[in-house]
Amino acid sequence: MGTLLRLDRPIERLRGSLSARGILISEEQAVAALTAEVREYRAEHLRGVDNASVSELRHRCADVFREQLPSSLDHDRAHSVLMSLLRFQVLPGSKEALAQLRDAGMGLAVVSNWDVSLEGAMLAVGLRGSFDVVVSSASVGAAKPDPAPLARALELLGAEAEHALMIGDHAVDAEAAAALGMNCAQVQPGTGITEAVAAILALPA
């Protein structure tokens, strides 16, 4: 989802949240805790196939997160702090760019290595209505670079790979697209899709 979303100041907000609880940590400790949590989530996110398993996944990640922080932070507080950090911002220009693609008559899908809460996350940031299809890797039991999530999105869109284009910000996106014979427009993480969309719309019909 780094092509569309970014976390809202996670390091700053983590340190502020813990400071309010009387726990002071350095920026390095904050980075270490968040990095460990992200690593655990990426490794285990396919387990998040329903509400119960997503909750279990978040608690599992909270334990890993807590291990990098002062011992005075218990599991429940670590979980509470972690969940408060899961606040996303839409990258500038994304909504407008998606609207341009829809106005051009294109079917749109978001495909992400995410648990099944992906659709809720899209609703929370106001992007769900921009897409015809939302596919999380957990919903199909495979994560990119496996092409299965992309294949599922194409199936739901009723589209052929050779007539589709992936916009991605990671090598796994390009690998998944290539496995299906689909082109991929690569963007830098956190830069958004505006330039890629402009280039797509400038192509001959």
Q: How far is CA 60 from CA 79, 80, 95, 198, in A?
A: 9, 13, 33, 41
Could you please state the CATH topology (level 3) that the domain comprising 89-202 is classified under. Answer: Rossmann fold (3.40.50)
Q: How confident is the model at residue 29 (pLDDT cuts 50, 70, 90)?
A: very high
Summarised one tens digit per residue, pLDDT across range 91-146 is 999 999 999 999 999 999 999 999 999 999 999 999 999 999 999 999 999 999 99
pLDDT at 191 over 80: yes
Residue identified by tokens 């700053």 is 12
CA atoms of 49 and 28, how far apart (whole Å):
33
Which CA distances in Å does 172 have to 18, 31, 95, 145, 146? 34, 24, 24, 4, 8
Say what the pLDDT of residue 27 is. Answer: 96
Q: What is the pLDDT of residue 149?
A: 98
Q: Span 76-93, mean pLDDT?
A: 95
Backbone torsion region of residue 189, taken as left when φ is above 0, otherwise alpha when ψ lies between -120 and 50, otherwise beta: beta
Tokens 């496996």 correspond to 146
**Ranges of each domain in the chain:** 7-87, 89-202
Q: Note whether 38 and 119 are within 8 A (CB).
A: no
Residue type, 26: S
Confirm if 168 and 177 have CB atoms less than 8 A apart. yes
pLDDT at 139: 98
Whether the Cβ atoms of residue 134 and residue 118 lie closer than 8 Å to each other: yes
pLDDT (average), residues 75-84: 96
What does the block give as tokens for 30? 């904050």
**In this predicted model, what pLDDT tens digit does every residue of 30-75 receive, in sequence order?**
999 999 999 999 999 999 999 999 999 999 999 999 999 988 899 9
Instruction: List all residues 6 or more positions away from 191 whose beta carbon is below 8 Å from its beta carbon.
Output: 91, 169
Tokens of 58: 């978040």
Asked if residue 155 has pLDDT above 90, the reply is yes
- Predicted confidence at residue 72, as pLDDT, reads 84
Query: ∠ at Cα 181 (171, 150), nearest 5°?
Result: 65
- pTM for the full predicted model: 0.93
| pLDDT(205) > 90 | no
Write down the mean pLDDT value for the chain: 96
pLDDT of residue 199: 94
